[in-house]
Structure 1
């Protein structure tokens, strides 16, 4: 049947009306703002989240932290109770759809958002400990190990805390002259184990090899360490003199020794692969993977695969740390994100059973391929200050050189200073100063 024009018009109007009704029946989604965000917190701090919701009526809400449901309101307050990385997801849903937004939170451990400096202690009067510098407050916390472990220490006051390093979430602290090797959680500083008696009562440096093995250098060689104990194991064959700094690179461990210079071991079985007799100071590693050391009047680059050695002359004689009880980690450092190497010029003089390293005021920066790098010092520290301890270390977090000084060449000073230099320009950015006979030995970074 053919419809008249008027009937066609009515049909069209009805169709439009039905279409409009269908559109009116469509329920909009919650419309959650998906911007999200990232936050960093200290333990004990809190952050509140109030995501914007365009259409909250009739919606249900869910908050999940690392997959676990923690709330069903439109807002949520996260309190940092434990160190870690947290993935927080807010979900809003109704009959139409489900919307969500993600927040990422990093909670720093109590001692993670900063760095440590090893304090030797005053021989015969007070034992050593670690001081902690906080990036949050720009202040120093004294004696953090003893604070977190009441009644525990690093041996008698005649012992010297000389070395510490962070490995797999733990900090290993080695003590000279009758002290222990102490292990603590690197983020809370709570002790997790110790070895009370070290070989010949003279521990030097520690390095981790894998999840179960480590090495301790000592006054008479290098010893295996069982990390599960921890416990001292057998001595490494072929190293029979004092040993100091060590570094793991690829398949090899590089060891600085008094008798043989640099000794290269296989990480698999600790067999000796190569010796380089000139090395007396080490180690640093650059972005290209090279291992750096120094000895005599040369800066030494070692290829970590071929073990090929390249020497570059430096404008001073490189000192050594092998006098009795005088060992300390070497004054050489580098950035993992660059190829420049920094080395401090030190003095040396007679010590018991060898040469003792002390003092110094100049730091040189070597850029591979730049013959003029050693033409002049990169940094000369302020007048009436002198290097102490390991002198200089690169802070990868801030891209700064942290330099340790006292106001007496031989260390007879209670005027302690940490100098923070811009590693790119050499400009002095900050000086941290405090009184007391503590003797800063070595910065330790995460």
Structure 2
């Protein structure tokens, strides 16, 4: 293959040298022309599993010779090239034609997305007593969801019972069920890459720390997780009871414990640095770096360097989710210093989402988004999508039990203006736990 490439360019240089000696006889020069590259603007975006046939239309050619390079590596010497990528990424495809005594070239640029790149996941609890949890996928711009994609991509394998939490870290999706395995999948293909058949206690949450280490929250304590071997270490001392949300910020890891509220750990050795505030729901981080938690009638903004806390009064009750644990509604923008939270009933549900603008208590006096009549939130209910500055809401038909629970609605709103961008119904007893974004 290398010999063909060298021969091609040697011939091209020879012809060009010959042409320069024939300046007095321009009529003998034949310059091939690429009339149309066969791909608009030479650019495209495709998904893994797709192909693109590149067939340039030519003029003024005589005995042509062809060369195709993909990211600098020779791929073909045919006149037509079928590009079938095997990996995600950005590709430059060079096309060169030598004809008569001259050469022409063209460059194609193709972005290859993973099958589950352009959109987001919805982690589903599953219908308790009828089947395990699973994951749906929404592709941006469409009006439907791809259902149960974990089982579709991994025939014969399932998640655990009541899959309540998902998080993407270093290109992997970590899926935590209340009972059964912790499962890890490639975040772009959904192919399983590993699992722990049983955790030390019922699973709750996951937090990635570095390339080698994560943390697993359970119904009874906090455990380190070796991400390379996928093995669970010894329970971390001093962090007791049921563990909810977790977040790494700077040199600290923030953990919500039912027993102690927000516990701050030193990221290096997971020793306790401080117990800062008795909160129940969180955690999330705004653009200014503040770490947020909530509970009762308060929002808490924690400085991740000094661990000092500001308290903001909320004109309604933020109920805990410990009794039927879910990740809670608290979520933050990465474009503004804004926190979103839901006004729920004591047992969940509700249909109002509030948007707190940091430093502006008046922003909590009226709801930012209200779901249509007959719809209510389920489980965590809302998450901010930093990829396009939207709020994603998973709802079901009210009152949310019996046959109503199979009528799901996905809502997408502009996170700055509350303008409705997308909403549609889909059917199934999924019981959506939370949206998760790459």
Q: Which residue of 2 aligns with 1:282?
A: 282
**Displacement of 1:340:** 1.9
Given the superposition, is the C-alpha separation of residues 32 and 295 from structure 1 closer, same or farther in structure 2, using an over 3 Å criterion? Answer: same
Q: Which residue of 2 aligns with 1:401?
A: 391
| Aligned equivalents of 1:311, 1:54: Cα separation in 2 | 72
Q: Which residue of 2 aligns with 1:219?
A: 219
Q: Which residue of 1 aligns with 2:329?
A: 331
| Aligned equivalents of 2:308, 2:57: Cα separation in 1 | 61
Moved more, 112-121 or 395-404: 395-404
TM-score under structure 1 length normalisation? 0.84
| Aligned equivalents of 2:411, 2:22: Cα separation in 1 | 74
Given the superposition, is the C-alpha separation of residues 21 and 443 from structure 1 closer, same or farther in structure 2, using an over 3 Å criterion? Answer: closer
How does 1:1-400 map onto structure 2 within 5 Å? 22-24=23-25, 37-50=42-55, 60-73=65-78, 75-92=80-97, 100-135=105-140, 137-155=142-160, 159-176=161-178, 178-200=179-201, 202-323=202-323, 326-348=324-346, 357-400=347-390
In the alignment, is the contact (CA less than 8 A) between 2:312 and 2:361 conserved in 1?
Answer: no
| Aligned equivalents of 2:287, 2:108: Cα separation in 1 | 32
Please give the per-residue CA displacement for 1:294-328, whole angstroms capped at 9, x wherever unaligned: 223222222233333222222112211112xx110
In the alignment, is the contact (CA less than 8 A) between 1:32 and 1:92 conserved in 2?
Answer: no
**Displacement of 1:438:** 2.0
TM-score under structure 2 length normalisation? 0.85
SS at match of 2:364: coil
Corresponding residue pairs, total: 412
Moved more, 103-112 or 371-380: 103-112
**Displacement of 1:116:** 1.3
SS at match of 2:211: coil
In the alignment, is the contact (CA less than 8 A) between 2:164 and 2:176 conserved in 1?
Answer: yes
Please give the per-residue CA displacement for 1:228-254, whole angstroms capped at 9, x wherever unaligned: 231111111210121111111222211
| Aligned equivalents of 1:132, 1:22: Cα separation in 2 | 62
Moved more, 107-116 or 377-386: 107-116
Larger Rg: 1
| Aligned equivalents of 1:308, 1:400: Cα separation in 2 | 30
Moved more, 44-53 or 387-396: 44-53
In the alignment, is the contact (CA less than 8 A) between 1:131 and 1:144 conserved in 2?
Answer: yes
In the alignment, is the contact (CA less than 8 A) between 1:165 and 1:171 conserved in 2?
Answer: yes
| Aligned equivalents of 1:263, 1:56: Cα separation in 2 | 73
| Aligned equivalents of 1:112, 1:138: Cα separation in 2 | 17
In the alignment, is the contact (CA less than 8 A) between 1:41 and 1:80 conserved in 2?
Answer: no
Structure 1: which 5+ runs fail to align?
Answer: 1-19, 349-356
SS at match of 1:316: strand
In the alignment, is the contact (CA less than 8 A) between 2:29 and 2:102 conserved in 1?
Answer: no
